[in-house]
Amino acid sequence: MKKYATLIIGVLLIWNTVLTFEYVGVKNLLDTLELTGEVKIIREVDTEFTTNFTKVVADNLAKVVGVSNYYQTELVSTGSGAIYQFQDGNVYIITNNHVIDGATKVTVTFVNGEELDAIVVGSDKFTDLALLKVPVDFTIEPENVFNIGDSSLTKVGETVLAIGSPLGFDFSGSVTMGIISGTDRIVPVDIDGDGVDDWDSIVLQTDAAINPGNSGGPLINMAGELIGITSMKIADSSVEGMGFAIPINEIVPIIEQLMANGKVIRPLLGVSGVSIDTMPSAQKSFYGIQLDLKKGIMITGVQAGSPASKAGLKAKDVITIFDGITVTSFKQFRRLLYGKAVGDTVEITYVRGTTTYTTSAKLE
């Protein structure tokens, strides 16, 4: 028994010696670090995630409003808006055209719950934008007006926030988070509801949740800058997380025109037309269009005294090239035309029968 006790005591003494050496080694290491001032980072942990996001939200909630569309005294629909400017006692708010379309009365509800009548300064169906003016008897501080960002700098994968009033004002100030899923997306839009696409909207794609009532609300980056106005989403049982916002760089020129003129002034050529790419051969033959002509628009009407009329264009002519760019469809032609300014002179190539001509027109 004594033999075992001696053995145990010996083992404990050895273990105690080992621990002593370990302690001395660690102490010497700490003393060395203390003398040299060297700090060794084992792992860096980000603890600011919640703080950063909540600060961006808190700084921008008061810049978002609810927009109500009334027909007579009946509330038809609600949407959202972003405070764009405060000037001479008036708050200017950006929203979507479809939010206020058909309204006989529009009101705006601020973050404090105050509802005031709004004046529609102007709207534009092609870009789906509208500008509201709300006379107020209080001051909107600069920090409650959105800082305008630069949507051309937006990157795929960048974190963004959408703020608005989904499904009505019971959920006002709702915030959803996502990323930029794509930039410069082209989404066809049927403006007049005839089943034919009239316009191609250039939009930012995001997976931040966008629901009915979010329309017209802001899409902001992590600097709190307004980079877009949420406008649409793909609503399909097989699709999830595909929402779209109008980029702020597309918005500002339109809003500036609405503020200055009450409408968007676009150049006029004075033609109506249809794309020939969907025409069957029999229809082409009926109108005297060459069967091997695949792209262009056939003119269906020319406005008297218009630039097109002065340039010699006639019904049944097929415009194939507009100012150096091949024409593929009427909606593409419309975008090319609206990309010009009043007073610009453009060169137009067209086919009449079997002969190709070139003319020029000064847009009005």
Within 8 A by CB and 6+ apart from 339, the residues are: none
Give per-residue pLDDT as tens, 288-315.
999 889 999 999 999 999 999 999 999 9
pLDDT at res. 143: 82
| Distance (Å, whole) CA 276 – CA 294 | 7
Quote helix, strand, coil % in the chain, to nearest 5.
25, 35, 35
> Torsion angle of alpha carbons 91, 95, 98, 102, nearest 10°?
0
- pLDDT (0 to 100) of residue 233: 74
Of residues 68, 77, 80, 215, which has the active-site annotation? Answer: 215
The mean pLDDT of 60-65, rounded to a whole number, is: 95
The reply to whether 277 belongs to the active site is no
Neighbours of 149 (CB within 10 A): 20
- Which listed residue (77, 98, 123, 151) is catalytic? 98
Catalytic site residue 215? yes
Give the three-state DSSP class for 14. Answer: helix
- Write out pLDDT tens, residues 217-244: 999 999 999 999 999 877 666 767 788 9
Q: In 3D, which of 224, 212, 209, 216 has the Cα closest to residue 179? A: 209
Q: How many CB atoms lie under 10 A from the CB of residue 177?
A: 15
Percentage of the chain surpassing pLDDT 90? 65
* More confident position, 7 or 120: 120
What is residue 187's three-state secondary structure? strand
Tell me what the mean pLDDT of segment 127-143 comes to: 88
- pLDDT tens digit sequence for 43-62: 554 444 455 889 999 999 99
Helices (H), 40-146: 49-60, 97-100
68 is catalytic: no
When pLDDT is averaged across residues 108-115 and rounded to a whole number, the result is 92
Catalytic residue chosen out of the listed positions 68, 123, 128, 317 = 128
Q: What is the pLDDT of residue 58?
A: 92
pLDDT number for residue 18: 47
pLDDT at 67: 96
